[in-house]
Structure 1
């Protein structure tokens, strides 16, 4: 062993400077790769080895169980919008409630039947509410002075369409770069998974106090997609967001033809309306 070490030492010392630097860079890169891929515990949106060992039905059960449980009880909640579909619960606890100058974004406002959620936010908390949906048309019945409507969609990439913008682009266009968003609601009909991954990766939710998301689970995802979704949910939690209220939207149909019948009987919804508070942004 000593002879091998001395031989390597002589060879290294005899190398030209740039050859030595190249070797050093290669060794540093190899150590970095080994640390990232072998030693490190997967996080964010990567796949954990322990989850990879589970069967698809087991992963699916974890996925639905995670979406169906709260972490941060809210002592007082106020209903905004109709009870049931289209309505959401606002956490009115002192450390999380919207305060003046209140700012709220509502994405996917026109998928449903009413604008009551947007209008109630303006009424209950005197919020300045901005509503977005690519199917939006100015409705004569909507007259809330504190709600502004835009036919733009929330996206997960830059510059692909003039009608699709990231949250950062929207905030900049509206002059809200430095403002806290008290409430952000997303009902994106399945696009929420990619959009949220982008938002987390780019730190776009760091100034959001309450986050409401309708997660669509009705399309049977691959095992890889299930794992990505689990780690998307974990990344939201790591960003400080805790679930304080869950509502199963029974109007969402459920199509999971590959799921064992004994598991499917415990899954009775295709959509979860998940309410979060950002515990990093208490009053």
Structure 2
């Protein structure tokens, strides 16, 4: 005999109670984002989490100093890719030890081209968001997947070696309508006169040309030019928070370049850290290692969250999603 048959009044009362509870829950949830007390509580929890993660990141920095002392004992004595029995590579000194306080997921294809992303659910509701992508190379699955998840987002793509975004965007009308491609290079200084080829712009100049004061998602894959370009960009803000929320960056430490010198690379990386960038994920480019067999792991993907400033990954700001 069923519960309703044995206790019809109790069953009806229970169903009514469940229905009312669901209504209250939905109603409460829908207004939480507009409730000042709920916002303060949520922001306080988020700030506490960020402070805890920063403390753990500090422990990793102490470990970095200890590793330098062990194998150096000074930075100038560190071989970034040793081959005499030392058990480390350059990347062991720069671990992605910060935790994104939101969902972390890989966006784009499974393979070279996909990127690790922090808090897509925080970006998706925005009615207006901006993504910059430097380095297209005929493959745009990452950019396309972000655009699909965030209907209010537009992407600005730059690559002097190709003529357009990849087919993932070019063959989808809605995505193409929200995409803007330019055959420019990203550099440490502007060079776009009649004789300059490729035309080169700093990131700050491009933001000014486009009328943007903030970039939600910044992807940079420019075959070694990332060092000078980002260094100049950071220096131009003279200690003020950088105007982007997160950075997907492929780092290229090619043999024979100045950036394979450990002290120089360390100083550049510490500049990123001082500007508020914290790596929350890394992925070595094993496709490169596999194709060019026997080479050292010069290429690695890093994803950073910017822990300074005021943006969706750091605080609940409903007004910014409107």
Q: For the superposition of Structure 1 and Structure 2, which TM-score range results when normalised by the shorter chain?
A: 0.5 to 0.7
Q: What does residue 189 of structure 1 align with?
A: 223
The structure showing larger relative contact order (alpha-carbon pairs under 8 Å, at least 6 residues apart) is 1
Q: Distance in 1 between matches of 2:79 and 2:208?
A: 44
Does the 8 Å contact 1:184/1:210 carry over to 2?
Answer: yes
Q: What does residue 81 of structure 1 align with?
A: 108
Q: Distance in 2 between matches of 1:191 and 1:223?
A: 10
1:196, CA displacement in angstroms? 1.8
Superposition map of 1:153-164 within 5 A: 153-159=185-191, 161=196, 163-164=199-200
Is 1:105 aligned to 2:141, yes or no?
A: no
Q: Distance in 2 between matches of 1:65 and 1:220?
A: 20
Superposition map of 1:18-29 within 5 A: none
Structure 1 unaligned spans of 5+: 1-48, 258-263
1:189, CA displacement in angstroms? 1.0
Question: What secondary structure, in the 3-state scheme, does the structure 2 residue paired with 1:230 have?
Answer: helix
Q: Distance in 2 between matches of 1:85 and 1:216?
A: 14
Aligned residues: 222
| Residues 138 and 166 of structure 1: CA distance in aligned 2, closer, same or farther (over 3 Å) | same
Structure 2 unaligned spans of 5+: 1-72, 316-322
| Residues 62 and 149 of structure 1: CA distance in aligned 2, closer, same or farther (over 3 Å) | same
1:61, CA displacement in angstroms? 4.0
Which structure carries more helix by proportion?
Answer: 2
1:120, CA displacement in angstroms? 1.6
Q: What does residue 137 of structure 1 align with?
A: 163
Q: What does residue 70 of structure 1 align with?
A: 97
Question: What secondary structure, in the 3-state scheme, does the structure 2 residue paired with 1:159 have?
Answer: coil
Question: What secondary structure, in the 3-state scheme, does the structure 2 residue paired with 1:277 have?
Answer: strand
The one of 276, 284, 290 equivalent to 1:248 is 284
The one of 128, 143, 149 equivalent to 1:124 is 149
| Residues 71 and 193 of structure 1: CA distance in aligned 2, closer, same or farther (over 3 Å) | same
**TM-score normalised by the chain length of structure 2:** 0.60
1:270, CA displacement in angstroms? 2.5
RMSD (Å) for aligned C-alpha atoms: 3.3
- Bigger mean CA deviation after superposition, 116-125 or 239-248: 116-125
**TM-score normalised by the chain length of structure 1:** 0.67
Does the 8 Å contact 2:75/2:262 carry over to 1?
Answer: no
